[in-house]
Amino acid sequence: MICTACSCLCDDIELEDGKILNACERGYKHISEYRQNRAKNSVNGKELDLDKAIEAAAEILKSASSPVIYGMDTITVEAQKLAIKIAEKLGGYIDDNSSFCLGEFVEAILKKEVPSATLDQVRDYAYVIIYWGTNVYRSLPRHMSKYTYYPRGAKRNRGYDEDRFLVVIDIRKSEIAKLAKKNAKFIKVENDVELVESFLKAVEGKASKYDVGGVIREMKRADFNVVFGGLGLKYGLKGNYGLFFEFIRKMNEITPLYFLPSGFHSNMRGFNETLFETVGAVNKFSFSEKKSDRAFEFSELLRRNAIDAALIIGTDPVSSLPYDVSRNLMAVKKITIDPKNTLTASISEVSIRSALSGIESGGEMVRSDGVRQKLRPIEKTEYDDVYILKKILEGL
Amino acid sequence: MSFAFKLLNREKKLEDCRPLFEEKKYEVQLKKLKEILKPLEKATETGLIVDSDKCNGCGNCIVVCPVHVEKDPQGAGSGRGPTISDPIYRIENGKLVIKNMHACRRYGKSRILCVVCRENCPTDAISFLEG
């Protein structure tokens, strides 16, 4: 089966004699605990059957003057398409977690502002591998062993200590920074913008604050290098994405350097790509104003009390957003579609129990590098996100 | 020294040193030795100790293992879960499990002190008796 715990979408998970093989701890918990803490179909706290809950959800959305559809990063592409249709029909807002996660990076890749590659290409060809502001040991546990530094690849078959050069850039000595030993460099960064400027200076052969000349020299030795950017890079850049992309482009004038986002939920990239194909933006989009804007981020909408109904799918903003923001949800009519009884589901006017994508329902998801994966569920339920969203759409 | 090495290699047991148990004057030494050798109970024949609480199943150890690379180049050697029936390690239920220690380069008469798996464990979940 394919594990849907994170955006690695590991495709070599096996079930044998009651054991789950090859999945990391995060994946194991995701798969083994799927029956625990399940959501119930309810309206105003009263348990009802699915059709009644769907009816109530459609009623709330129909009577809303400013609705938002939010989440969708853990559901399939097929379900995401339906959620986008609902937002379009309502003339509402649509946003996912990527607006505060790595949406800007995915957008730059989709707009072809920076060259990108697949993880399979990284495994086969990459020499210098830079992890910038991301500790994949925690977020994507098998990233280094399955796709990047450790596996032998078609043109990198002599092992990590001879055929790879690892660079870890972080504000602290993270778990993966401890792995930067032979043929490797750990750069303890205090200011990401200054580090990008140092790289730009080093490209021109000038002296810079950070000692990065050695990394540039290593990159020049190879025909395939890659940077994985995480949330540490995103927030460290303080909005200077252009400067960072300029560094990638400048490097490509002398040696190939590809960029890939590193982190996020199982199908966040799927949502970004699906919305991008539909409206030309990756997130925070208003169908009534027909544009994407920071003001349409879910957290911004909440902060300004700009919405009166929210269809929340496969995410738990009460747990993940700051209290100052999430408390404004109390003034909003909430419909939650989730396999689990999340905090948000427990305070929602309508809660709808859905199937867990990849375990109880099939479909397609998009890996962090844009490769599409067909899920291979171990069970099959009729009442998945696609069924529920189709019914809501019909009810509008 | 020879007896000490044999102890660590499981060729001898502490009980094989009879005076240690029979003569009262060695009581303190016996107590100390039992304490020192306690980690042996947790270690495999190659001296390997896996601390499951520290392991998150990242699989670095499985992919870097030179034996896996040689025997399973398209599976473990290429980053996938092992495809051979007798891998040294496997990830089961999110944790590292030792399946076939006899295939390890540290096992047997022509053993070498390979520590590649330990060196690439980000959380020190893998250790060996020698430190």
Which tokens in the block code for residue A345?
A: 């589901």
CATH of the domain at A301: 3.40.50.740
How big, in percent rounded to 5, are the helix, strand and coil portions of chain A?
A: 40, 20, 40
In a domain, A16, yes or no: no
**Same-domain pairing of A87 and A148:** no
The pTM assigned to this predicted structure is 0.92
Which domain does A296 fall in, by range? 39-100+267-395
- From A261, A291, A308, the end of a domain falls on A261
> Alpha-carbon distance A112 to A367, whole Å?
18
The residues that bridge with A297 in the sheet, in sequence order, are: none
**Same-domain pairing of A137 and A90:** no
> Alpha-carbon distance A388 to B12, whole Å?
67
List the single residue in A21, A175, A176 with the smallest CB-CB distance to B81. A21
Which tokens in the block code for residue A373?
A: 């994966």
**Same-domain pairing of A55 and A79:** yes
Quote the minimal CA–CA distance from A295 to chain B in Å. Answer: 39
- From A222, A238, A261, the end of a domain falls on A261
Which tokens in the block code for residue A77?
A: 């592409």
Interval A234-274: pLDDT, tens: 999 999 999 999 999 999 999 999 999 998 899 999 999 99
Which tokens in the block code for residue A64?
A: 């809303």
**Same-domain pairing of B62 and B100:** yes
A 10 A CB-CB count for B52 gives 13
Q: What are phi and psi of A43, to 5 degrees?
A: -130, 125
**Same-domain pairing of A118 and A224:** yes
CB contact under 8 A, A21 and B90: yes
User: Three-state DSSP class for B4?
Assistant: helix
Interval A198-241: pLDDT, tens: 999 999 888 888 999 999 999 999 999 999 999 999 999 999 99
Least confident of A204-213, A316-325, A350-359: A204-213
A396: which DSSP letter?
-
Residues 112-131 of B with CB under 8 A from A: 119-120, 122-123
Which residues of chain A does B95 touch, with a Cβ-Cβ cutoff of 8 Å?
25, 28
CB contact under 8 A, B92 and A20: yes
Q: Cβ of B68 under 8 Å from any chain A Cβ?
A: no
Give the amino acid at B118: R
A304: which DSSP letter?
T
> Alpha-carbon distance A118 to A339, whole Å?
30
Q: Stretch A155-170: mean pLDDT, rounded? A: 95
CB contact under 8 A, B122 and A26: no
Torsion angle, alpha carbons of B82, B86, B88, B90, to 10:
40
Which residues of chain B does A121 touch, with a Cβ-Cβ cutoff of 8 Å?
none
> Alpha-carbon distance A393 to A387, whole Å?
10
A 10 A CB-CB count for A58 gives 19
CB contact under 8 A, A123 and B123: no
> Alpha-carbon distance B44 to B107, whole Å?
10
CATH of the domain at B70: 3.30.70.20
CB contact under 8 A, B93 and A20: yes
User: Three-state DSSP class for A42?
Assistant: strand
**Same-domain pairing of B81 and B108:** yes
Which domain does B64 fall in, by range? 48-128
Which residues of chain B does A179 touch, with a Cβ-Cβ cutoff of 8 Å?
60, 120, 122
